[in-house]
Amino acid sequence: MEQHCEQSPPRAREEEEGANSGGVEGGEEDEKILHFLDSLDSYLTLMDSLSSTLRRGWLELAGARHSMGSSRISGALLSHRVQSAATTMQVTEPNDKSETESQAHFTISKWAHMREGKCSGEVEVGGFQNKSSGSELRHRVPSNFPEGCKESYSAVNGSPIATDSNIQQERSKSLSIFGTLVPPKLRAAQVSFETALDSIVELANMRSMVLSSFAQLQQEMKSSS
Amino acid sequence: MAGRAQIPTKNSALIAMIADEDTVVGFLLAGVGDVDLRRKRNYFIVDSKTTVKAIEDAFKDFTTREDIAIVLISQYIANMIRFRVDSYNKPVPAILEIPSKDHPYDPTQDSVLSRVRYLFSAESVASSRY
């Protein structure tokens, strides 16, 4: 009788094993669902943050227009001369595009301008780090950018180059479209839109994550049905 | 996970904009404006006289250019070409719908969120049960 009690019947063992494996799979699915919902929530939060930053920028632009005059700040003043963007993006796409777990990663370089092959001014603001890829992109976020005076270095030609003055130069160049002397409101608007760009980079990365985790969930649902 | 390194595929890529004047001017102040040798710009200002066809052409142009990483489009403008925006499904350039001065952001109209919304619909829940 003791021997009979020690060994559980085979059928009960099979049911227990089935429940355990189902539990493990269910746990993985729950994790994917949570990951998807988290990324969705982050996307909405970032969009809310972007909305408030843009509102501030528009208000400051309206204030600048009020002090300078409507004709002094308009699309008609935008130059059609050849010019390259001072703020650019870096996009890293996964090696194997059939993999749904990896997604494109966006990084912004503000006020970077290539002159004669040398990078004269560069401040990188990394977006969201994709943990699954293990990418090793540099991530430098000045704590008080853009008001701070921290130096950043370019490694293009191996020698450090002070870039703060160049960054200020690039900023002034952008402002000069609207005249030599611009009101503080216009400078404040410039800062607000620069801040908005950070949110936009985060949003682009979060969008990639939402779509990637959604694709994983769809695959999961198809395989389970 | 190890060994699946990501390769930088675009350096110095641009941010394109299809938006109203104030939004475009603001982002140009932030240094994203670009005019190439063929005088092609990375921004398109929409006003009351802009036709839907012109917006569609600008959207198609920006989404097919190799040097553009992100396309910003005001949501109210995206609504004018909703079919085009919703049928776009490439990862790069990323399409981001942003609010405008007169039209706040509406998550129910966002193409990314509407794409994933069906996961929460009654039909998808019912079908997963059977």
Token readout for A207 is: 């969008």
Q: A37 burial class (0-12, 13-18, 19+ CB within 10 angstroms)?
A: middle
Indicate the pTM of the whole model. Answer: 0.76
Gap between the Cα atoms of B36 and A170, Å rounded = 18
For chain A, say whether B63 makes contact (Cβ under 8 Å): no
Q: B83 burial class (0-12, 13-18, 19+ CB within 10 angstroms)?
A: exposed
pLDDT at A32: 87
Q: Which residues of chain A does B42 touch, with a Cβ-Cβ cutoff of 8 Å?
A: 85
- B70 and A204: CB-CB below 8 Å? yes
Range scoring the smallest mean pLDDT among A35-44, A157-166, A204-213, B27-36: A157-166
Facing A89 at nearest CB: one of B33, B36, B69: B69
pLDDT tens profile B37-73: 888 999 999 999 999 999 999 999 999 999 999 999 9
Count of CB atoms situated within 10 Å of the CB of A209: 23
Give the residue carrying structure tokens 């528009």.
A58
- If you average pLDDT over residues A43-59, what whole number do you get? 96
Beta carbons of B8 and B92 less than 8 angstroms apart: no
- B116 and A106: CB-CB below 8 Å? no
Facing A174 at nearest CB: one of B31, B41, B92: B31
Beta carbons of B18 and B45 less than 8 angstroms apart: no
| Mean pLDDT taken over chain A | 73
Beta carbons of A106 and B69 less than 8 angstroms apart: yes
- If you average pLDDT over residues A34-48, what whole number do you get? 94
- A200 and B70: CB-CB below 8 Å? yes
Range scoring the smallest mean pLDDT among A48-62, A117-131, A195-209, B13-27: A117-131
For chain A, say whether B9 makes contact (Cβ under 8 Å): yes
Interface predicted TM-score (ipTM) of this complex, two decimals: 0.87
Gap between the Cα atoms of A122 and A116, Å rounded = 15
